[in-house]
Amino acid sequence: MAYQLVLASASPRRKDLLERIGFAVKIVPAEIEEKMEPEEDPTEFVKRMARTKVLSVVNRLKGTMATHAESHERQSTGRGKKRDGPDRWVVGADTIVVVDGEIMGKPVSQDEAFDMLQKLSGREHTVVTGFCVFDLVKNKEGIQAVISTVRFKPMSRREIEKYLSVGESADKAGAYGIQGVGSYLIDSIDGSYTNVVGLPLCQLMEMFEEMGAHDILPY
């Protein structure tokens, strides 16, 4: 099948979000080092990470274009099996949780996850997602960051420990999953819900329209 989007991420949540609104998604995980530069603004950090992920995958895809061209030439001469052309659109994103100016990424241990949730308890924090779209045909990119404000309910030590026992904290920024059991922890959200999940769909679709991706939009 022809894939409409290449997702430069192994995140099942981002893949699910895109598939729910009608996209066919091909996963090509980016292998990069996610490290913040000294004095780097959190918003600029997630934008840089999203772009770095996308360009990492774009460079790999460009390396296969010669193979696709050779295959197309065989098709035109009646040899070889018909196959779809190269992928065109690549999407990547990076999401962080910020509280008191401190970035919370994915916890590396249960103790760190506990500390994160204890810090978020009864307070507001911001969720920042940077995303990048790359058009392989026009060699053009778009980058944006979206910010949502989330307020947590107050949590007791026992409640935090019970939530951690569910096991959905390990691979999530801030140690909680708003789309899972962790949804009950959220008192309110100001901004995009899908941004908190990991990919702001409204802003992403607007960027696709601005970049001329009308033929792949699911509406």
Cα four-point dihedral sign 135, 29, 1, 79: positive
Q: Which of 16, 41, 94, 215 is catalytic?
A: 94
217 occurs within a structural domain: no
Strands 102-104 vs 186-190: parallel, antiparallel or unpaired: unpaired
81 occurs within a structural domain: yes
pLDDT tens for each residue of 164-216: 999 999 889 999 999 999 999 999 999 999 999 999 999 999 999 999 998 88
pLDDT tens for each residue of 40-65: 899 999 999 999 999 999 999 988 75
Could you tell me the pTM of the whole model? 0.86
Report the domain count for the chain: 1
Are the C-beta atoms of 17 and 197 separated by less than 8 Å? yes
215 occurs within a structural domain: no
Q: Find the mean pLDDT for residues 8-37.
A: 91
160 occurs within a structural domain: yes
Domain boundaries, position 120: 5-210
Interhelix angle for 157-164 vs 110-120, to 10°? 130
165 CB-contact burial (10 Å; exposed 0-12 / middle 13-18 / buried 19+): exposed
135 among known catalytic residues: no
219 occurs within a structural domain: no
12 occurs within a structural domain: yes
CATH at 172: 3.90.950.10
